[in-house]
Structure 1
Amino acid sequence: MTTSGQGDSEGSRPPVALLGSIPADISTALRQQFELIDEDSLPALPDDRRKAITHGLTSAMGGVNHAMLEDLPGLDAIASVGAGMDRFDLPWLSARGIAVHPTPDVMTEDTAEFAVGLVFALLRNIVSNDGFVRRGAWSAGRAPLGYRISGRRIGIVGLGRIGSRIAGKLAALGCDIAYSGPSRKDGPWRFELDLAELARQADVLVLSCAGGEATRGIINAAVLERLGPQGYLVNVSRGSVVDEAALIEALERGTIAGAALDVFENEPVPNPLFLELPNCILQPHASVFTRENRRDLAAALEQILRS
């Protein structure tokens, strides 16, 4: 966390309580506009200054330090870096008159682009072909064949903001799109209520659903078996959505052809067994790591914190 000094607390920068972890670059950008007060600095503030703090800041991955809220009786709004809400106890916060403001719109385009990039990486062997050249295997023979993206059957789990953009981008590439979720959405794509059946019909299953207990482990051994030995899994949602033990076994046994994962149950140190799997592309929760995203994200958070 970023520790803020108290020297210009009476100046032009409004005070904001840091309630959970946020990315360092976002902290640096916002510190120019706001006085960011972390957990260690908060007790040293005079009572009147603590009571005057109305806004807090955290991230979808950082959640909220509930103990800090006891010292912030005037808090009524929390800005959150990210789209996820599964780490917030919303009823508990609402009972205290505190609203959480995530930043989902800023995350949509970059996450959708990244998901499409992972589909390309898997089906066109982009990552494995890099290794093929580097280890000198090209001189001994041709690289393995991949699959054309156009015409692939894509199953999307969760057709919200991000899922809809993934669907639109892959449909524009000539893919056949179907999706699963709690209910049917307006749009041109085919709805399949049963997740296992969606997996059976798909060449690639793309996960873009919300995290939390409602979706914990929904991609289990039975779903992976239905995806089949020529099917691929892409996850840009939450690591909790996947039964990782079942996924590792499926990748080891060839129950599915491969996976590309941007999220894990344990971050930033995922299960080490993933590191040994040649048919698994691993990414560091980087789907929104673009310069445009950081610019737009800082602007969106500033707007929330000044509201």
Structure 2
Amino acid sequence: MPTLLQLTSLRPEIQSVLDSQFTVHHYAKLPDAAAWVTAHGAEVDAVATGGGNGIPTALMVALPNLKIVAINGVGFDKVDLEAARAQGVRVTNTPDVLTDDVADLAVGLTIGIMRRLHHAHRFVTAGHWPTKDWGLARKVSGKRFGILGMGRIGQAVARRLSGFDGTISYTDVAAKDVPYHFVPDLVQLAAGSDVLVVCAAASTATRAIVNGPVLDALGPEGALVNIARGSIVDEVALVAALQSGALGAAALDVFVDEPNVPAALLGMENVLLTPHIASATTETRRAMGMLMLDNLSSFFAGRPLPTPVV
């Protein structure tokens, strides 16, 4: 059987299939991973990893006979694709199967931050309802929604938000064939939005693209929602904007240095935080795992890869 180095956790039913088809070594469980790679790196044929894990380039190079990196996730920003091409390593991911869940969470976070659901929950559980006035939140319907990135997930978010009877605008590298208003400049998009939803893919081009000027343009009544990648938002600028009131609110599922969240965000009432759970449903994680397995089995059977990246 091919030898596989596993860099992520998987659902039991997916793990069972993987164990039946490969000789699996769990990187995190190796007593001395560096020593193991030095001794056995040449034996590794495949790597199974997650979008948030990827594979360090140094580790990929230390596996000279590596043939495929199968990502259990849609993001591939943590894999050096040029290094993979140079080494002749195929890379696959699991797009589409998680689109609905990610889009659902984007809308959920939008409603949550606008209606202050996290604050309302704490208000009730702290026993304040009988004696205090909770206050008011912001309406969601009729708002101006801006979307950064009109790919699969961006389009799914837009379809869902269209039910709120507001306006939907977007920016991307170019206009798409979609029934929404294209704005070529991100600052301009933010200035015309009440809620800006980040759906772009992480890359060198999008690193910290949501910066101070964008947040200032979104303004003290605006809300930022990020279900894409933490690296797309300048976290230092975000914290400063929230602290100063230059930005009204933020709902975040992703962060630059996960699982480490900037301490300043933790105590803010105008911030809603979730632990990178956009695809975290039973149905979707099963589908992602099955597609990852399909990519692996197809490769070693000599069939075309279902969802290749490179």
Shorter-chain TM-score: what band? Answer: 0.7 to 0.9
In the TM superposition, residue 295 of structure 1 has moved relative to its aligned partner by 1.1
Q: Which residue of 1 aligns with 2:283?
A: 292
Q: TM-score, normalised by structure 2?
A: 0.86
Q: How has the CA–CA distance of structure 1 residues 70 and 158 changed in structure 2, closer, same or farther, with 3 Å as cutoff?
A: closer
Q: 1:267 to 1:69 in 2, by over 3 A?
A: closer
Aligned length: 289
Deviation of the 1:24 alpha carbon = 4.5
Relative to structure 1, the CA distance from residue 46 to residue 154 in structure 2 (aligned partners, 3 Å threshold; closer, same or farther) is closer
Query: Offset at 1:46?
Result: 10
* Map of 2:161 onto structure 1: 170
SS at match of 1:23: coil
Instruction: Please state how far the C-alpha of 1:75 moved relative to its aligned partner.
Output: 2.9
1:236, distance to aligned residue in structure 2 (A):
0.6
Determine the structure 1 residue equivalent to 2:171.
Answer: 180
Distance 1:186 1:262 in 2: 28
Please give the residue correspondences for 1:20-99 in structure 2 after superposition, counting only pairs within 5 Å: 21-25=7-11, 28-29=15-16, 30-38=18-26, 40=33, 50=43, 54-70=45-61, 72-99=63-90
Shift of 1:214: 1.0
Where relative contact order (Cα < 8 A, 6+ residues apart) is larger, the structure is 2
Asked whether the 8 Å contact 1:87–1:212 carries over to 2, the reply is no
Aligned partner of 1:112: which letter? A
Secondary structure of the 1:273 match is helix
The answer on 1:207 being equivalent to 2:198 is: yes
Return closer, same or farther for 1:139/1:15 CA change in 2, 3 Å cut-off. same
SS state at 2:202 partner: coil
Q: Which runs of 5+ in 1 are unaligned?
A: 1-8
Select 2:253's aligned residue among 262, 270, 286: 262
User: Counterparts of 1:170 and 1:119 in 2: how far apart (Å)?
Assistant: 10
Q: C-alpha distance in 1, partners of 2:264/2:20?
A: 42
Quick one: distance in 2 between partners of 1:219 and 1:138? 37
Q: Deviations over 1:35-78 (max 9, x none)?
A: 2234545665597xx2xx54322222212244444564443322
Q: CA offset at residue 297 of structure 1?
A: 1.2
Aligned partner of 2:216 in structure 1 is 225
Structure 2 gaps, min length 5: 28-32, 299-310
**Which residue identity lines up with residue 275 of structure 2 in the other structure?**
P
Q: Write the letter of the residue equivalent to 1:120.
A: I
Q: CA deviation at 1:16?
A: 2.0
How many angstroms apart in 1 are the aligned matches of 2:223 and 2:210? 12
Structure 2 CA distance for aligned equivalents of residues 268 and 32 of structure 1: 31
Q: In structure 1, what is the equivalent of residue 4 of structure 2? A: 16
Percentage of identical aligned residues:
37
The CA deviation at 1:261 is: 0.6
The alignment's C-alpha RMSD in Å is 2.1
The answer for the alignment partner of 2:306 in structure 1 is none
Say which of 239, 243, 251 aligns to 1:252: 243
Give the C-alpha shift of residue 180 in structure 1: 0.8
Q: SS at the partner of 1:205? A: strand
CA distance, structure 2, for counterparts of residue 138 and residue 188 of structure 1: 44
